């Protein structure tokens, strides 16, 4: 898998800590409104606690959500958890313009996380048929994507330094007993700010993007 050769400008928007639904709705609006000239974007966010259930998601994989809300969303995949201490990046990319397909898109995101972990001498791998990134037998990053008219939204969730207990309330990604791990538990950085620059750098390399900061998107209030 080669890195995209053409360098294209892309905006990075840093949203800080936000509830899930307003960001999701803003991604949808951006994707619906963009045209062939719209630059690609990478949104960086940390979410308030939430379980999200993908289009193929089965309710039985949500075991005991307790006080954490469950949101049915329009990405692929099963159920996952987002919460403080997890780095979430939403690549909003035009795949035909980048001349890559969906499978290659997923592999490039996974490779960016694998390369990020290698920066801290942590060996990570992907698994056939189970998107995401794994260290030993534990999942450290999850992927959930949607492609509409060739444009991507949703993205990756990278466990940096977070309370992993909520993952025990679900079958993560639909796999009973799947173990999860956070970067901070493996000797890596224990803050989002200590990890985000490397993740963005490796994503830019994978997709051939020249990144520049832009203001955060306007979010509608949570319903």
Catalytic center residues? 173
Contact 143, 155 (CB under 8 A): yes
- The count of residues in the chain is 223
Residue 48 structure tokens: 């308030």
- How far apart CA 63 and CA 40 sit, in angstroms, is 37
Under DSSP, is residue 136 helix (H, G, I), strand (E, B) or coil? coil
Assigned token pair, 165: 């207990």
The dihedral built from the CA positions of residue 119, 216, 10 and 108, taken in this order, carries a sign that is positive
In angstroms, the CA 54 to CA 57 distance is: 5
Q: Residue 36 and residue 94: Cα distance in Å, rounded? A: 8
């Amino acid at each position: 898998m080669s890195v995209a050769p053409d360098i294209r400008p892309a905006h990075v928007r840093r949203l800080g800590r936000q509830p899930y639904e307003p960001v999701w709705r803003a991604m949808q609006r951006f994707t619906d409104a963009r045209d062939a000239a719209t630059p690609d974007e990478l949104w960086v966010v940390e979410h308030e606690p939430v379980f999200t259930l993908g289009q193929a998601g089965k309710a039985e994989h949500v075991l005991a959500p307790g006080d954490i809300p469950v949101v049915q969303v329009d990405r692929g995949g099963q159920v996952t958890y987002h919460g403080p201490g997890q780095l979430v990046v939403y690549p909003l990319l035009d795949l035909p313009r980048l001349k890559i397909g969906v499978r290659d898109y997923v592999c490039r995101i996974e490779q960016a996380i694998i390369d990020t972990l290698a920066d801290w001498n942590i060996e990570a791998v992907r698994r056939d048929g189970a998107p995401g990134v794994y260290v030993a037998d534990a999942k450290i990053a999850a992927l959930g994507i949607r492609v509409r008219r060739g444009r991507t939204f949703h993205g990756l969730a990278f466990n940096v330094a977070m309370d992993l207990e909520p993952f025990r309330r679900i079958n993560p990604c639909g796999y009973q007993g799947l173990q999860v791990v956070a970067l901070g538990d493996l000797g890596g950085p224990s803050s989002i700010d200590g990890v985000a620059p490397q993740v963005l750098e490796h994503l830019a390399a994978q997709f051939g993007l020249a990144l520049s900061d832009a203001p955060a998107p306007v979010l509608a209030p949570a319903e």
